[in-house]
Structure 1
Amino acid sequence: MIDFLSPGWGFVLYPLFGCCLSVLLTRVCIRVLPRLGYVDKPGGRHIHEHAVPRGGGIAVILAFFTTLGFYALHSPLPESRELLARLLVPALLLGALGIVDDRRELKSKLKLAVQIVVALIVWFNMDCDYTILGWPVPWFLSLALTVGWVIVILNAFNLIDGLDGLASGLAIVSAGCMAIWFLPAVGHVPEAMSMLILAGTCFGFLRYNFHPARIFLGDTGSTFLGLIFAITGLSTIDRAVTATSLLLPLLAIGVPLFDVVLAIWRRSARKLLDPHSGGIMDGDQDHLHHRLLRETRKQTTTALLMYLIGCGFAAAALLLLFLRHSTLAVGYILLLFGVLIAIRQLAGVELYASARLIRNGLARPRRGLLINLVHPFIDFFLISGSYMTACWTVFGTAGNPRIFLCAFAPLALLLCLSGTYRVYWLRAGVNDYCRLKLLLIVGSILACLLLFLLNYRTMVQIHGISLRQFISGSIIFSALNVLLVVGERLLIHYAEWFWFRNLDLQCEVPDRQRLLVYGGGLNCRVFISTLYCAQKSGDREQIVGIIDDDPVLAGLHVYGFPVFGGSRQLGEVYEKQPFDKLLVTTRGDDPEKMRQLAEFCRRHNIVLSKLVIGEKTVVQEDR
């Protein structure tokens, strides 16, 4: 006979009970909430077309805590009752805030203040004493990190709740991922059960929240989901914090978290570009789901795509979980490539705003000097990262403050005293980069020699390293210093030449003029640099390619553009790649060639221009 009260069946029955209870309570909310004034009317940033009840998070909260309470009463584990108490108090306070906000729409500052109080309660109720790389985290830093974590996750689910069924569906994916993480872990059975119960209650609510939605979560429900994931995510982080234990909760709630990071990035860049634009707390219609909705034009398709992206993040989290005791480096490499692809594909708006911000810095030296002021701090951070990486590779820990000081001080002093920060790095030359590279190599060698003379015996006694390991760590430290510090500066030039051009094409400027360049020499390079790095917003020229009479260049790429052939193939090029303007950038004048080009342009109604670069005498010297 099947024992339905056994622990194994509990993982099925409690989520199922929560799902059924959520369905029942949601139906009640659909009927009652409109009578109490909880109605979300269309208009503004809202995309729904008719009035829909909001505040459905009340049903999710009641169903979740009722089911979790039944589990805590019947569970033999005392941790289950501790978990219930840990979740209940902050959830009640945040739920009360959401209920009032869904009815009266409170100010952002008031909501933020209450969220900070909720985060403080979470910190006091939990043992948030962590160690990072063997170093204990001070209580005040632990408090700040916990408060920041809770507020970010709360608002992540609040911001993602802009489409029918999106927040509740992503919550199901995230809860399932975290439940899989908790199940094999000894002592985390209550957390696993709470995640399964949350998935069940969200699934029941999704029955009426999927498009076309009959009820919305409201701030009551979206912030509640964020709170549960924030508290439970802290439980996944080991007391001794490792990269894996930190990445697991981040990836489990990857889509909402990625969206809120993009929102902060996007709104901060826009605020710096235009002081009169909205702030970080002001809404917009550039969230991930808004962009996908503009592409698909269907809420159902958009929601399913977002679910799929969420499953991708969850799969990455589980991959790290399964590889944590084996080839973990493979998982990190795959994750890094995945994040880079996600940023490139999904963060076009943010990348373009950042490119404009950097371009304004390039165009205005006074503003660009601010970048020079922060360069020392960036360099010190990168050198510290090189030290941490080298120590972790050799020792398996971060060493100690004395070792860090010996490695850090020579480089920092050499960079500060050598005049490196008197170079305007937004306009640096090749000699400046070579000198910086030499300084970093010399500074790294001095740091390694100082470590060997003062701390080698200590490292042998405490960490048991060999001379070969010390040399390997020194090489890693030196190489990373050069790569990171020089690479950070080279990134600016990369952005100026390539990043700006690619991102400029993403800006929707109407009636762009398609431009073909004749001549792939240095004048062509000057023009491209001027067009894509110094242009103002709204310029309407887009280069489609280059033609050049040098047969060696045919079929190749010059300055990032394809060379279609020579002037004799101009007709074929026009048929395959129509253009509105032909710009001649060759040096010197060939009357016959210009006559042929002019005749072709007149025949096809194309604008013909000549790029002229020269000097003009303003004051003549008297002799």
Structure 2
Amino acid sequence: MLISSFLVAAAIGLVISYAVTPLVLWTAVRFRVLAQPGGRHIHRTPIPRLGGIAIYTGFLVAVLAGLPLAHAVRIAVEAQQVVLTVPYVPGVDRPIIGLLLGATLITAVGIIDDTWGVSPLQKLLGQVAAAVIPLQFGIGMDVLTNPMGGMIFLGPFGLVLTTVWFVALSNVMNLIDGIDGLATGIATIAGGTVLLASSADGDVPTAMLAAALIGSTLGFLPYNYNPARIFLGDTGSMLLGYLLAGLSVLGAYKSYTALALLVPLAALGVPVLDTALAITRRWRTRRPIFQADTEHLRHRLLRRGLSQRQTTVVLYLVTGILGVAALLASGIHRFSLVAVLGFLLAALAFGASRTGLLSAPRPASADGRHNSST
């Protein structure tokens, strides 16, 4: 019954986003919200942006329809005397409402940026404002289990950490969105990781949200995969990072476990590593952190002769491997968990280094251009 309810939520998100995307595409063309070719961009003709609106719509409808279903499933399961790890608490929908309101704001910020453009500072302020909204509805990292043993009481620092978490993942997904379908696919895989982890923990509402996210991204992916007919834009990339951050924080809020944060973080190993390398690279060369370049992992793979599709598939596979490894590691306790996840990320960095992906920057060829500004 749990699986069928997740499938229903995913199906709703998929159908809605798939149906809404052509309307968003038409609207973007009508109002000239287009990514123009030239410069670092690989596409030859103007491509509509604002694709995140379709994902937002699919996710919103799926959640509003799926949560009552999740509660009905919980009642049915408990009637069969099956004990769930995370019990239903009256008012649990309130944090989810906060997450939806924050997602609405981050989507609005993305629409404004895609349509008229905003400065990095203005975008950051919008991200912070969106991150603060869930805090007002009870979502926050107050207490976490320590993988080394015991509990970590965060106090007021938990509010700061929660805000940073939302903003960081929003920007991580924004930076990785540089090849057709890459950010959408990675978010789908990471969402699947969260779905499996939360359902195994008995956290039905969080799993339902993850299923809604998966369906919404899958409904959009046929339009976004190479050759893309529409781009996510900042509207979509920031929304995906925000929702993944929200799902992990919601899981931590409900179960007080660091695994709720570590599992999706490991699944997002590719964009996290890429962002860390970008920040380090720009700091070492004394360039602004938000200044775009063509030295991301995807650019280096393209310069090594891979096509856009091949590059996307390679990074999908790495993300999938990290997601599976994170799920397996979640059954390990204390120091072993941290060691395993640390080893995975170190192995990823070492592999990138050995294949020349971390070598000194060099001018990008035409094949190394991309469709993102970062």
Shorter-chain TM-score bucket reads 0.7 to 0.9
Structure 1 position 94, deviation (Å): 1.1
SS across alignment from 2:37: coil
Percentage identity across aligned positions?
33
Is 1:40–2:35 an aligned residue pair?
yes
Paired position in structure 2 for 1:129: 142
Paired position in structure 1 for 2:343: 337
Note closer, same or farther for the CA distance 1:98–1:350 as it changes in structure 2 (3 Å cut): farther
In 1, Cα distance between the equivalents of 2:165 and 2:53?
24
In 2, Cα distance between the equivalents of 1:146 and 1:350?
35
**How many residues matched?**
341
Paired position in structure 1 for 2:237: 222
Paired position in structure 1 for 2:110: 98
In 1, Cα distance between the equivalents of 2:236 and 2:261?
25
Paired position in structure 2 for 1:288: 297
Match of 2:197 among 181, 184, 188: 181
Is 1:169–2:217 an aligned residue pair?
no
Is 1:266–2:281 an aligned residue pair?
yes
Structure 1 position 200, deviation (Å): 0.9
Q: Is the 8 A contact 1:69 1:84 kept in 2?
A: no
Note closer, same or farther for the CA distance 1:45–1:122 as it changes in structure 2 (3 Å cut): farther
Paired position in structure 2 for 1:256: 271
The Cα offsets for residues 546-581 of structure 1, whole Å up to 9 and x where unpaired, read as xxxxxxxxxxxxxxxxxxxxxxxxxxxxxxxxxxxx
Note closer, same or farther for the CA distance 1:66–1:134 as it changes in structure 2 (3 Å cut): closer
Letter in 2 for 1:320: A
Letter in 1 for 2:204: V
Pairing of 1:47-446 with structure 2 (within 5 A): 47-76=42-71, 81-125=93-137, 126-131=139-144, 133-139=150-156, 141-186=157-202, 188-237=203-252, 244-271=259-286, 278-324=287-333, 332-346=338-352
Letter in 2 for 1:284: D
In 1, Cα distance between the equivalents of 2:20 and 2:134?
28
The Cα offsets for residues 70-110 of structure 1, whole Å up to 9 and x where unpaired, read as 12344436566335402211111111111111111111111
Q: Which runs of 5+ in 2 are unaligned?
A: 73-89, 364-374
Larger radius of gyration: 1
In 1, Cα distance between the equivalents of 2:56 and 2:254?
29
SS across alignment from 1:221: helix
In 1, Cα distance between the equivalents of 2:239 and 2:362?
38
Highest RCO, 1 vs 2 (Cα 8 Å, sep ≥ 6): 2
In 2, Cα distance between the equivalents of 1:168 and 1:80?
28
The Cα offsets for residues 475-517 of structure 1, whole Å up to 9 and x where unpaired, read as xxxxxxxxxxxxxxxxxxxxxxxxxxxx7xx6769xxxxxxxx
Q: Is the 8 A contact 1:29 1:59 kept in 2?
A: yes
Paired position in structure 1 for 2:14: 19
Note closer, same or farther for the CA distance 1:44–1:122 as it changes in structure 2 (3 Å cut): farther
In 1, Cα distance between the equivalents of 2:327 and 2:51?
31
Note closer, same or farther for the CA distance 1:315–1:79 as it changes in structure 2 (3 Å cut): farther
Letter in 2 for 1:340: A
Note closer, same or farther for the CA distance 1:351–1:56 as it changes in structure 2 (3 Å cut): closer
Paired position in structure 2 for 1:601: none
Structure 1 position 54, deviation (Å): 0.5
Letter in 2 for 1:119: A
Q: Which runs of 5+ in 1 are unaligned?
A: 1-5, 272-277, 353-502, 510-623
Letter in 2 for 1:178: V
Structure 1 position 242, deviation (Å): 6.2
SS across alignment from 1:280: coil
Note closer, same or farther for the CA distance 1:27–1:217 as it changes in structure 2 (3 Å cut): same
In 2, Cα distance between the equivalents of 1:241 and 1:76?
21
Structure 1 position 56, deviation (Å): 0.8
Structure 1 position 336, deviation (Å): 3.7
The Cα offsets for residues 433-453 of structure 1, whole Å up to 9 and x where unpaired, read as xxxxxxxxxxxxxxxxxxxxx
